[in-house]
Amino acid sequence: MKNPYLLENTPEALEMRQKVKDLLLSRTKANAQLALQLLQGGGVHSELVPYLWGLTYATLDIRTTSVEKLLMKYLSAEQISLYKELKALYIGRYEKYEWENADEAWADFALHILATHEATQAMFRDFAIAFLMIAQKGGRRLLRFKLLPEEMIVRELIDGQYLSLEDFDLPALPTCVGEFEDLKQLNLRGNRIANVPDSFAKLKNLEHLEFSMTLEDFEIPQSVIDKFEAFFPAIMAERYQTSAWHFVEINNIEKGIEYFEKSIQLVQNSSKFWNNLAWAYSHAHHFDKAFEASKKAIDLAENVTQKASYLSNKASDEQRAGLLKECEESAQEVRNILKQVPNKMWQESDYFSFALATQILGKFEEALTYYEKYEQKGGYADGSLYYNKACIYARLGDREKMSDMMRLCVDHDSLDWVAEMRHDMDFQAFWEDSIIEELEQYAIEQQEKLPF
């Protein structure tokens, strides 16, 4: 009786078995079903067993019983015995992890095979490949213990242009990662990174990089930070910006300045970075440095909207520093710049910049009109908007509207705005008024309602 054609050792059979593997490795239900149809009449060669077994644990909605019937039909008694033993081992590990973590269960099972089944280690490699490439399980432990070639594992872990090695607990980063030059996102959190392969410098398209600065009993070496800065200056600069704002939020303005400065050391031509540094210098009352940073931001502004925004911020800082002539000149320049742009071409922030400049020049009713237009155009309503409007109502002597705006200010943003009132000359007429104490009490009550 003639053997099924896939069991033969002819070139045609070898080619067809490879096609079956490719169909299974495609991880699509239609191709998997086509592969099973070919195997029904062609037979199951031993080299295809791991791929079919991996298929039983893939999420392709393929009936496990139909796959196992094929295996039982064509496998020898010895192969069936081994298959059942391996399956029992795997299910045992799966139950150990209470069916919650398939990857860890499979990894535990894989290491057990390596330790106790010397005769099956060659077959284990095939099982490992099948599980990794068909069922997409086991990548974490496979990579950590180098049970398969790194490039093969990493390639299967990549999702589009995103690679996550989060919590892989790797003793060293895979050198081959740098060969995947199309990567845009790389997550290395949860790894004790002691060194960065030079091949990472090839990741020119990378836009996002995540990694842990500290873990239990571990702090990332400065040499790693230096390499990340050298390879990915723009990414690291943005990371330092985030750190800077974190320190600002916890009232450590000097530490925030340190990180704003670090980001500029990496990327010196960002108008946004210089503007943020100017803001931080101003709030730390380093006004000379704030004006220098503002000038850099204005010079680097990419468009009229940015230039008007940075100029209006500079005018506000000059007002806080008591430089009344300079702040009026800056405010007037903002208005002149924006008046040259047709209103229909204004961006949302242009209305805010124009309103702030107009407010600084003492044209309060007009300023309120432009703040309203800013909100109508969908501008972000935060504490600074309501604080500026409260300043105007205070200058106009409208106690009730001033109080309403300050309450909105507290509701939408930092509670520190109320404390600012006692130092802001716009509120001087109300410093002895009970309204300040009432607002301070309101701020405290809102603070107590916060969940942290």
- pLDDT for residue 193 is more than 80: yes
Tell me: pLDDT of 119 over 50: no
Supply the DSSP string of 218-243, one letter for each residue. EE--HHHHHHHHHH-HHHHHHHHHHH
Q: How many residues does the chain have?
A: 452
Mean pLDDT within 319-338: 95
Give the CB-side neighbour count of residue 113, counting CA atoms within 13 A.
28
Domain ranges of the chain: 1-148, 153-231, 251-300
Mean pLDDT of the chain: 85
Phi-psi region of 138 (alpha: psi -120 to 50; beta: other; left: phi over 0): left
Using DSSP, state whether 210 is helix, strand or coil.
Answer: strand
The answer to whether 374 and 351 are in contact (CB under 8 A) is yes
Task: Tell me how far apart the alpha carbons of residues 198 and 200 are, in angstroms, rounded to a whole number.
Answer: 5
Question: What gap in Å lies between CA 115 and CA 347, rounded to an integer?
Answer: 66
Average pLDDT over residues 306-327: 94
Contact 122, 147 (CB under 8 A): no
HSE (side-chain half, CA atoms, 13 Å) at 221: 8
Contact between 275 and 294 under an 8 Å Cβ cutoff? The reply is yes
**212, 220 contact by CB (below 8 A):** yes
Gap between the Cα atoms of 87 and 53, Å rounded: 9
Which CATH number is 153-231 given? 3.80.10.10
Would you tell me which CATH number, out of the four given (3.40.50.360, 2.140.10.10, 3.40.50.12280, 1.25.40.10), belongs to the domain 251-300? 1.25.40.10
Q: What is the pLDDT of residues 30-59, one digit of tens each?
A: 888 888 888 887 887 777 777 776 676 665
Q: Which of 107-116, 156-165, 217-226, 273-282 has the highest mean pLDDT?
A: 273-282
Is the pLDDT confidence value at 99 over 50? no
Q: Is the separation of the CB atoms in 192 and 218 below 8 Å?
A: yes
Window from 120-134, 154-168, 183-197, 305-319 with minimum mean pLDDT: 120-134
